[in-house]
């Protein structure tokens, strides 16, 4: 009987070790509005994948993180209207073009969108003003831009 339990335990370990290990998606959220940052993180709770979010409350902090070779990110979600420096300046100074930047902004100005895209943003998305559309949009951003493995 003891042997049966041991063999079964080995089989369970073998099966579980055969499963692919999924590493969390690492997102840098550049957002000065604490409420928006909380909404963003709350929307991630409904996503089946693990997402680690680092919040940079201004452009300067974002640039410090992005220039650090040890800092890893799979996606940057950037607000344009930030204190001290605009999101455009982050786009101008951002050098890791292999990590996509999605601008998530309350701006409804088409010029803002064109400018952000010309500076290297992969997509510009307007922040919805209602809670559920906001949450749905965050999930869509993550699902669209998560690296495919």
SS (H, E, C) 41-72: HHHHCCCCCCEEEEEECCHHHHHHHHHCCCCC
Residue 147: pLDDT band with limits 50, 70, 90:
confident
Rounded mean pLDDT, 66-81: 92
According to DSSP, residue 70 is labeled: T
Check pLDDT > 50 for residue 20: no
Fold of 22-145: Rossmann fold (3.40.50)
Give the predicted TM-score (pTM) of the model.
Answer: 0.82
Check pLDDT > 60 for residue 29: yes
Rounded mean pLDDT, 32-53: 92
């Amino acid at each position: 009987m003891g042997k049966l339990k041991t063999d079964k335990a080995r089989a369970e370990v073998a099966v579980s070790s055969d499963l692919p290990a999924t590493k969390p998606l690492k997102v840098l959220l550049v957002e000065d509005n604490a409420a928006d940052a909380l909404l963003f993180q709350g929307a991630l709770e409904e996503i089946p994948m693990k997402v680690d979010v680092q919040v940079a409350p201004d452009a300067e902090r974002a640039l410090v993180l992005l220039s650090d070779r040890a800092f890893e990110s799979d996606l940057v979600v950037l607000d344009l209207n930030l204190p001290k420096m605009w999101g455009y300046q982050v786009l101008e100074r951002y050098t890791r073009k292999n990590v996509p930047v999605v601008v998530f902004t309350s701006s409804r100005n088409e010029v803002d969108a064109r400018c952000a895209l010309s500076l290297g943003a992969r997509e510009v998305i307007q922040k919805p003003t209602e809670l559920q559309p906001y949450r749905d949009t965050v999930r869509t951003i993550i699902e669209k831009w998560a690296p495919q493995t």
